[in-house]
Amino acid sequence: MADKSIYQNAPEYCHYYFDLTSSNDLIAELKKSAELTKELFAQISTEKENFAYRPGKWTTKEILRHLIDCERIYCYRAFRFSRFDTTELPGFDEDKYIENIDSNALQLSELTIEFEIVRKSSIALYSSMTNEMLDFAGMANGAHFTARAIGFLTAGHNLHHLNFIQKNYL
């Protein structure tokens, strides 16, 4: 579990995701969850790529697309906060994002490569931040976050979905 100090200035729902991480090293957590993601999606059979565990639920590919979309948004927020931007940032509707792109038409390998590229970009961004930048709190979706908290949220959110896939999709 990450250091409890990241809980400061983060909404209660984020604490679950923070608790899925195992260290205080943000870069290591991002790298670890990326590796676990790569390993898990390499195990997905062709038959399971467009599988949803229940009608109306996201497919395996849609979950990976969701991780990519969220990471892009989270990093944008962290970038803004790391530049001491006090502009309140809006929320987003994750379901609408999935509805408006046909992830199932893509190859799983293409989505996996895209995830890896986005994660490498995220790691580069977080690696360039000073502690002051990481700890600046901004507002997004009506709640306070630091760039550091968003980074741990990214890693924990990723781990949450990997656990969910293992339990309900494989």
Give the CATH number of the domain where residue 16 resides: 1.20.120.450
Mean pLDDT over each residue of the chain, to the nearest integer: 93
Per-residue confidence band for 2, with pLDDT thresholds at 50, 70 and 90: low
Whether 100 and 4 have beta carbons less than 8 Å apart is answered as: no
Does the predicted TM-score (pTM) go above 0.75? yes
Q: How many domains does the chain have?
A: 1
pLDDT in tens, 73-99: 999 999 999 999 999 999 999 989 998
The sign of the torsion formed by the CA atoms of 70, 75, 78, 83 equals negative
Whether 19 and 156 have beta carbons less than 8 Å apart is answered as: yes
Q: What tokens appear for 72 in the block?
A: 């892009």
Identify the helix (H) or strand (E) that includes residue 161. helix 147-168
pLDDT in tens, 118-140: 999 999 999 999 999 999 999 99
Q: For residue 81, which of 23, 130, 117, 39 has the smallest C-alpha distance?
A: 130
Residue 84 belongs to domain spanning: 4-168
pLDDT in tens, 106-122: 899 999 999 999 999 99
Question: Which residue blocks in 8-127 are alpha helix, DSSP H?
Answer: 12-19, 26-42, 60-82, 94-99, 108-127
